[in-house]
Amino acid sequence: MRIASLLSLLLVAAAACDQVTVPSRGDASPDSLSSLWESVDAGPTNFNAVSGSAADNVFVVGEQGTVLHWDGTALLPEDSGTTANLRGVAVVSADLAYAVGEQGTILRRQGGVWNAEASVTTAVLNAVWAGASTACAVGEQGVALAFASGVWTVITNSRNDNYYAITDTDGGLYVVGSLGVVSHIDITAASISAVSLPGYTKLLAGATRWANGAYFVGVEGGFFFWAAGKATQVVGLPEVFLHGVAVADGDVWVAGNQGFVAKLPGGQNPTIIPTPDQRWLVSVYAASATDLWVVGRSGAILRGPPGTRGVGDGGAN
């Protein structure tokens, strides 16, 4: 679906979002909690990633070059200038963001306008991280790209791993992917090196920074805290495919297949948060402990978490 054809639909959806009636919280049962999510009907588009720099600056990207922007009042489409499927987004500030996707697509947003960066690969790019003056994009077949001094370059990599997520840590950038692969990237040196994740050889699909380390998530409830080059597995999650992970105010949020969302205070003792959905949820962004965005397949866009926000809070309901 093209951005142009989404415009009228999303204008209606955004307006409807402002009119959602949230049920009384009271002593809500787990089943009734699922109805407390705000849901935006954005059509059948597969959404692949959500990220933001603040509660009023959130971006969602997906198929056919779809880009949606939440400005604190409405969720509206932006012209990406491409029809390539977008798979990853990184938001630095209100004036700087990147999106990546198929056919080696790299987009940069400045001054409210998206423009394509010079192509350096035709590989599928699944994820991107960005800072004020540097960035890194990773994808399939071992592709890793570094942006520094205004230029994108290919990082030489002897491995053929598929990478699905990237995050920064105090020890630099880490990417995760198929067969439990974890690799370290040094943008300055334009180098990448694989490290081990003992005992887990399944796909890792999500990563986010936390304190002095990072959280990684993946297949069969895989959930790990990574710090100082070592992984600690956190148990207790069901064997669901976890795609996305985010942290806000010490709470860790994970999202996965069949509408799965869970909260782990301090990264421990998971509590499943019911959703009104059975679609695959593939990405999550936590603007704060009470402002969570979750996106996924077949037009899934949820905002919550349930039971924390009422009508009119933050101009979003």
Question: In the block, which residue shows the tokens 């009470």?
Answer: 290
Mean pLDDT of 161-176: 96
Which CATH number characterizes residue 218's domain? Answer: 2.130.10.10
| Low-confidence winner among 10-19, 80-89, 200-209, 308-317 (lowest mean pLDDT) | 10-19
Q: Which of 205, 193, 200, 187 is nearest to 242 (CA)?
A: 205
Residue 48 domain flag? yes
Q: What percent of the chain has pLDDT over 90?
A: 76
Helix (H) or strand (E) holding 110: strand 106-110
Asked if residue 265 is part of any domain, the answer here is yes
Number of domains in the chain: 1
Over residues 11-40, the mean pLDDT reads: 44
Q: How many angstroms separate the CA atoms of 228 and 17, rounded? A: 43
Q: Which of 115, 121, 117, 118 is nearest to 102 (CA)?
A: 121
- pLDDT at residue 33, as a whole number: 56
- Residue span of the structural domain in which 116 resides: 3-15+29-315
Residue 57 lies in a domain: yes
d(CA 126, CA 205): 10
116 belongs to a structural domain: yes
Q: Is residue 37 part of a domain?
A: yes
Residue 24 lies in a domain: no
Does position 152 have pLDDT exceeding 80, yes or no?
yes
Please report whether residue 156 resides in a domain. Answer: yes
| Confidence (pLDDT) at 119 | 87
In a domain, 51, yes or no: yes
